[in-house]
Structure 1
């Protein structure tokens, strides 16, 4: 009971604070006080994979789950990106996008969060969870989509992408990254006129975003992924009843292709995120 009360005391105020502060970045962006940061930390390349001196077959942008805190890290320690580079060297891969920061400000590089990481690491995840719900909120969703879509377009240009070139762009997302990926479609289409495809792994999203400018949305899922199922239940736009939501229009148009990865799970041993790692 003492442990339970401790977490209630700790997380109660934290949830309230995050509920109030999670909107800060998107509001600052909306009034033009700050623009998304395009400069990467020293030693972080704008893209990996296909060499800059030859055109790739496609650009792939990886949008990680809620564990994403900085340009370098990913939830699995970078193993998925390494597997992609190993199995598809013809791709130019970007893994530095900050899906939970409209201003592209790495969470772990902020002084207060650096302190929290060493004292209450759970709050780092809580911040990104709240940002996912801000991205899904109808009041902030258009601003959030434009900010992160612009961030992705900028990073693609810096990685060598030429607008109007017809070069395919793939948005690969994990968990809450699917909310951001689906929201970025319109902005990327407007800025780059790129042929777009989406791949979601255990995608947690509200189904409200219009993905009609994407050629396909490949959904990698499993019956054991309870987190993805929660998203399909709590967001009405994912229900079949809401026929004109962005998700249901895409399903009826045949853009959504489902790939079963049973019995993989969302987290823990056998998670979806690890399903395509190369054998040791």
Structure 2
């Protein structure tokens, strides 16, 4: 009995030491990209338009870049719930180009299953995640969580976030985005990808020279400096989302931290928080659940998609009103 217990403790010790070493080595991918070791190639996994997503309209008014949660291994591995959500969003936001083939957990859009050294390992991990044992498959989640921690780190975050911004900009250009048109861009991000969206948005704004908004769907993010540079962040959350509640424990979110970027952004009117009801973070009863319904019979995924669409419409309307008031002020000044 004692020997068995010692063996278990030894195994756990080795496991946690391995995790710590893995975490310590995680920034080297970003540092290698920054140093130019991997070249400046942004990899593409183009997915043909299905008539709804990745479709450029003649009367397009905005672009949406969807940043998935931590379970993703490439730009093509969206979950079924995520695909259903994006299809709903495409129906209700008919004048918006929705781009879902970017991988926010890589500074050059290279999928885990295409990496030169560990591709075979990540393909096996993806099989574990899909067919079991699921615990082993969660290595994908852990790896992507480390990338989120890099995004918020003050030392490596600026490098990582700039790389992701270039990946996002490249994704926009592939679908006929023209920076000279100053068309608004919305980063719709779920779970930990919201932190990456907040971190990358200021750099993306410099590249597109247009308004950039973050729409967090149950997003987890810290008091990032990017909050003061983006045009607005809309934080959609559910009352049963434990992950969102845990993120509120960040000291930068506390009301007493008056000088934190989160509280400064709120005072500047850059933050809107919207409760979607009794939704949880993932799985059944989550924001993207197409079986669970509200009291009025509306599927959760439909409510989430319609709320995101309403946010896009509101942001565009406010921006248009601001532009018109600016033009009106210039005309009045010219006439005076």
- Taking structure 1 as the reference length, the TM-score comes to 0.88
User: 2:297 maps to what in 1?
Assistant: none
User: 1:22 maps to what in 2?
Assistant: 26
Q: How does 1:152-163 map to 2 (within 5 A)?
A: 152-163=168-179
Deviations along 1:42-69, one digit per CA (max 9) or x if unpaired, are: 5455995474361411100011110121
Instruction: Supply the distance in 2 between the matched residues of 1:46 and 1:196 (Cα, whole angstroms).
Output: 26
Return closer, same or farther for 1:163/1:47 CA change in 2, 3 Å cut-off.
farther
Stretch deviating more after TM superposition (28-37 or 60-69): 28-37
Could you say which structure has the higher helix fraction? 2
User: 2:253 maps to what in 1?
Assistant: 238
> 70, 76, 81: which is aligned to 2:74?
70
Instruction: Supply the distance in 1 between the matched residues of 2:174 and 2:255 (Cα, whole angstroms).
Output: 40
The alignment partner of 1:276 has SS state of helix
Instruction: Supply the distance in 1 between the matched residues of 2:165 and 2:50 (Cα, whole angstroms).
Output: 16
Question: Are 2:125 and 1:116 aligned?
Answer: yes
For the Cα contact (< 8 Å) 1:37–1:104, is it kept in 2? no
Unaligned ranges ≥5, structure 2? 129-135, 290-299, 305-336
The alignment partner of 1:143 has SS state of helix
Q: Post-superposition shift, 1:5?
A: 6.1
Q: Post-superposition shift, 1:262?
A: 2.1
> 207, 211, 217: which is aligned to 2:233?
217
Q: Count matched residues.
A: 278
The alignment partner of 2:181 has SS state of coil
Q: Post-superposition shift, 1:92?
A: 0.5
Question: Are 2:184 and 1:180 aligned?
Answer: no
Q: Post-superposition shift, 1:26?
A: 0.9
Instruction: Supply the distance in 1 between the matched residues of 2:71 and 2:257 (Cα, whole angstroms).
Output: 31
Deviations along 1:95-122, one digit per CA (max 9) or x if unpaired, are: 1121111221112332221123335212
Query: Relative CO higher for 1 or 2, CA cutoff 8 Å, sep ≥ 6?
Result: 1
Return closer, same or farther for 1:134/1:42 CA change in 2, 3 Å cut-off.
closer
For the Cα contact (< 8 Å) 1:49–1:91, is it kept in 2? no
Instruction: Supply the distance in 2 between the matched residues of 1:236 and 1:33 (Cα, whole angstroms).
Output: 36
The alignment partner of 1:211 has SS state of helix
For the Cα contact (< 8 Å) 1:46–1:94, is it kept in 2? no
> 87, 96, 100: which is aligned to 2:101?
96
Instruction: Supply the distance in 2 between the matched residues of 1:162 and 1:6 (Cα, whole angstroms).
Output: 57
Return closer, same or farther for 1:39/1:31 CA change in 2, 3 Å cut-off.
closer
For the Cα contact (< 8 Å) 1:50–1:90, is it kept in 2? no
Return closer, same or farther for 1:47/1:182 CA change in 2, 3 Å cut-off.
farther
The alignment partner of 2:301 has SS state of coil
Return closer, same or farther for 1:50/1:94 CA change in 2, 3 Å cut-off.
closer
Instruction: Supply the distance in 2 between the matched residues of 1:246 and 1:47 (Cα, whole angstroms).
Output: 40
Return closer, same or farther for 1:46/1:189 CA change in 2, 3 Å cut-off.
farther
Instruction: Supply the distance in 1 between the matched residues of 2:50 and 2:272 (Cα, whole angstroms).
Output: 30
Question: Are 2:274 and 1:259 aligned?
Answer: yes
User: 1:131 maps to what in 2?
Assistant: 147
For the Cα contact (< 8 Å) 2:183–2:210, is it kept in 1? yes
Q: Post-superposition shift, 1:246?
A: 2.4
> 285, 291, 301: which is aligned to 1:276?
301
- Taking structure 2 as the reference length, the TM-score comes to 0.75
User: 2:184 maps to what in 1?
Assistant: 168
Instruction: Supply the distance in 2 between the matched residues of 1:208 and 1:92 (Cα, whole angstroms).
Output: 27
Return closer, same or farther for 1:135/1:122 CA change in 2, 3 Å cut-off.
same
Instruction: Supply the distance in 1 between the matched residues of 2:223 and 2:13 (Cα, whole angstroms).
Output: 34
Q: Post-superposition shift, 1:177?
A: 0.9
Stretch deviating more after TM superposition (207-216 or 33-42): 33-42
Instruction: Supply the distance in 1 between the matched residues of 2:52 and 2:210 (Cα, whole angstroms).
Output: 20
Deviations along 1:177-232, one digit per CA (max 9) or x if unpaired, are: 11011111211111111111211011111122323343321110122111111122
Max radius of gyration: which structure?
2
The alignment partner of 1:61 has SS state of strand
Q: Post-superposition shift, 1:35?
A: 4.6
Q: Post-superposition shift, 1:24?
A: 2.1
